[in-house]
Amino acid sequence: MKLSPDEMASRLGRHRSTIFRELRRNYFHDSEIPKLSGYWCVVGQNYLDGRRTRQRKLVRDTGLRDQVERCLISGWTPEQIAGQLRYENAPRRVCQETIYRHVYSGDGRRSELWRHLLSGRRRRRGYRLRKRPPPRFAPELSILFRPDIIAHRKQFGHWEADLVLFRQKYGPANVTTMIERTSRFLVVLKNVEKRTKPIMAQIAQALAPLPPHACRSITFDRGSEFIDWPHLQAEVGTQTWFCEAQLPWQKGAVENANKRLRRWLCRDTDPNSLSQEELRQLCAGLNATPRKRLGFRTPAEVFKTNLLGSGYRREKTLPETEVAFGLARPHIATETAASGGVAILLSGVQAASLGDVRA
């Protein structure tokens, strides 16, 4: 069915001049078979793609293209290349978006320019397609409002927590690390997944045996695995603080602990092969290691001193803890028991729990 340009413009909701311009610009001429001459949608799209390719700046300007590709191969990012051209006030310059489009164009893919990007992605992610999600953390819980007594480590019972991740091929299993800021006492918990509710429930279960003065607050980053923080406050009564967005270094104690832990749990470790008992032994060994910041005392010694120095007595609390969590176990790390430290007992069913203070 043939339609006039005026009828097509009416049905498509376009001006008639737009239709005439499209027909004239993308008309196909066939000298061998004149009957095939006319407007064809597939041919029109090919014409459009060819025009876009010819009009692309890095295709028209071969000298600028070679300069950009040399910088990419040297390890520069598209933003650095565009910024340097602006800084030098170069007569020929491009923006970073033009460079990204050239990298992921047909010519750029054939040259495998994407290998020289920091991300190294073969395909480009959508550009600003997602709407900014609403904030998941209350502004008043920012670490900027955390009291100075916590930042200066002058009070016992303030913790930091983070996740230690592994290669994606091993699945969602990961490890939660928690460290007490004053004593540098470390707790390691194994997680079979990265959902927030199981992770926060396990942290609450680990802190539940402690008295209030030993779990005053805990600081997280703004990862999605910590958005269920109200559950932790309701279960344990621990005040929660969060680092600023994209500033995880603000909880430096646990980041330093993760670096130490990586000596034994590198990214190529299969977390599914780790048992709770192995993590307990590793954690006990780290807590029994003397630290210069503690006057060469062990974290377990300092933790026990602060714990017992505030009225937390074994005869009042420990039996209830052992009954509730099944912690009356004889195989405590030798170094920790010898120094009078605190052992972390992990079982295959339960997560880590703090208790079993050996006098």
- Of 121 and 257, more confident: 257
Q: Which domains does the chain have, with CATH numbers?
A: 18-116 (no CATH), 139-357 (3.30.420.10)
- At 324 the pLDDT is 35
- At 315 the pLDDT is 40
- Of 96 and 30, more confident: 96
- Mean pLDDT, the chain, whole residue set: 81
Residue 217 has pLDDT above 90, yes or no: yes
Lowest mean pLDDT, pick from 167-176, 239-248, 297-306, 317-326: 317-326
- Which of left, alpha, beta for 311 (phi over 0: left; psi -120 to 50: alpha)? left
Residue 15 has pLDDT above 80, yes or no: yes
Q: What is the mean pLDDT of residues 190-210?
A: 92
- At 58 the pLDDT is 84
Residue 130 has pLDDT above 70, yes or no: no
C-alpha distance across the termini of the chain, in Å:
95
Q: What is the mean pLDDT of residues 210-229?
A: 91
State percent of the chain over pLDDT 90: 43
Q: Which pLDDT band holds residue 8 (cuts at 50, 70, 90)?
A: confident
Residue 281 has pLDDT above 50, yes or no: yes
Three-state DSSP at 207 gives helix
> What's the rounded Cα separation, in Å, for the pair 66 and 72?
10
Residue 145 has pLDDT above 80, yes or no: yes
Residue type, 355: G
Residue 200 has pLDDT above 90, yes or no: yes
> What's the rounded Cα separation, in Å, for the pair 209 and 324?
9
